[in-house]
Amino acid sequence: MTSVAIDRVFNFSAGPAVLPEPVLRRAQEDIWNLAGTGIGILEHSHRGKAFGAVLEEAEALCRKVGNIPDNYKVFFMQGGATSQCYLVPANLLGQGKTADYFRTGKWAKDSVKEARFYGTAHVCYDGEPDNFRHLPTPDEISHSDNPVYVHFTSNNTIMGTQWAEEPACPDGAFLVSDACSDIFSRPIDFTRYGLVYAGAQKNLGPSGTSLVVVREDLLENPPRELPMMQSYKLCAEKGSMPNTPPTFGIYLMGRVFDWILSEGGLEEMERRNRAKAELVYGALDATSEFFECHAREDSRSLMNVTFKTGDPELDARFVAEADTNGMNGLKGHRSVGGMRASMYNAFPREGADQLAQFIRDFAQKNG
Ligand code: PMP
């Protein structure tokens, strides 16, 4: 179970975010001297044996954590998840073809915009009218006639909404998920997807590196010629190394995968994340005359809890007082306002407990 180091605060940042303490301790050692080589992980050639082993292990552990079938390619890319907004359609959407997009927040909006460089982006649900407070029920969804794929954001980091399960996908299409902010926070059935991508900086590691998992048949006939660094096919063929890869990011993700497995895997991650979220939502529901959640109850995220008092000055006071009480990073995104408590896999339960108590005390003092 978690133990909390006394020289660290509770970090509620949405990302880059808290990482598992044993992983950081081990990284301290490996930065100095990786596996007795006398060279640190930051200094090893990506072509050498030591890094080769790191990369191989990271991929193998990723497959094990996610129970990823053999007919899926797993690789690591640079450029963060925003690059995936254009890489997905560039690699998978032919000119004149249509893909369906769930427009459920800022990152989904970006994906819609970028898809238009390559084909037609059909918005099959638009959450903007209620400022993205909820995810659609089946009657709110209207698919295009023949989409190549259906893109959705499994967890909307800014809005604090999360799909309870994948949306249904029309026959002949495949699902693409931006899983940046909830990858490996709960079990995931990759056979239901064509492609899943995630920037590392929430549940997996440092920023700048992305994980891509894609069904291999989708890479067979790219719809267009692409520059080298934009090609999934090339990146898969070159084993994540079309150029010098983000070696430290890949190393750290490997350590985080190892940590997930040693803690009991994705079922255990989900159990913990659910328990933490219930503590905080429980406190918010108990003080609902004072605090309001941004997300509708049926769409609440276990990763990012968004809430406010309705008074920007009080919100600012909440954030400042929480900070002086050892809880950092609670300011909400400007498009939603108020507060946001991000509690990814590595976030300790003690922090959720402390925030829940702080919410109750704050409401009592100021209500
Ligand atoms: N998608 C989601 C759901 C995100 O939360 C983020 C970053 N917060 C991104 C995409 C963009 O990631 P990056 O900054 O790594 O490009």
In sequence order, which ranges of the chain are alpha helices (DSSP H)? 21-32, 49-66, 80-92, 106-115, 232-237, 247-262, 265-286, 312-324, 349-366
Mean pLDDT in the chain?
97
Looking at residues 11-17, what average pLDDT do you find? 98
Amino acid 254: pLDDT: 98
pLDDT > 50? residue 211:
yes
Provide the sign of the torsion angle of the four alpha carbons 137, 198, 182, 269, taken in this order: positive
Amino acid 3: pLDDT: 55
Provide the sign of the torsion angle of the four alpha carbons 267, 269, 275, 277, taken in this order: negative
Ligand 1 within 6 A of CB of 199 = yes
Looking at residues 331-336, what average pLDDT do you find? 96
Pocket probe for ligand 1: among 107, 113, 335, the residue whose CB has the most ligand atoms within 8 Å is 107
Q: Which residues are catalytic?
A: 107, 178, 202
Q: Which of ligand 1's atoms lies nearest the C-alpha of 179?
A: 3
Looking at residues 285-305, what average pLDDT do you find? 98
Ligand 1, atom 9, lies closest to the CA of 81
Pocket probe for ligand 1: among 82, 101, 204, 209, the residue whose CB has the most ligand atoms within 8 Å is 82
Amino acid 4: pLDDT: 67
- Looking at the chain, the whole-number percentage of residues with pLDDT higher than 70 is 99
The DSSP bridge pattern shows strands 120-126 and 304-308 to be unpaired
User: Which residues are bridge partners to 195 per DSSP?
Assistant: 176, 214
Q: How confident is the model at residue 367 (pLDDT cuts 50, 70, 90)?
A: confident
Q: Give the tens place of pLDDT for each residue, 43-86.
A: 999 999 999 999 999 999 999 999 999 999 999 999 999 999 99
Ligand 1 within 6 A of CB of 15 = yes
Ligand 1 within 6 A of CB of 246 = no
Ligand 1 within 6 A of CB of 177 = no
Q: Give the tens place of pLDDT for each residue, 110-147.
A: 999 999 999 999 999 999 999 999 999 999 999 999 99
Spatial contact of 186 and 273, defined as CB atoms under 8 Å apart? yes
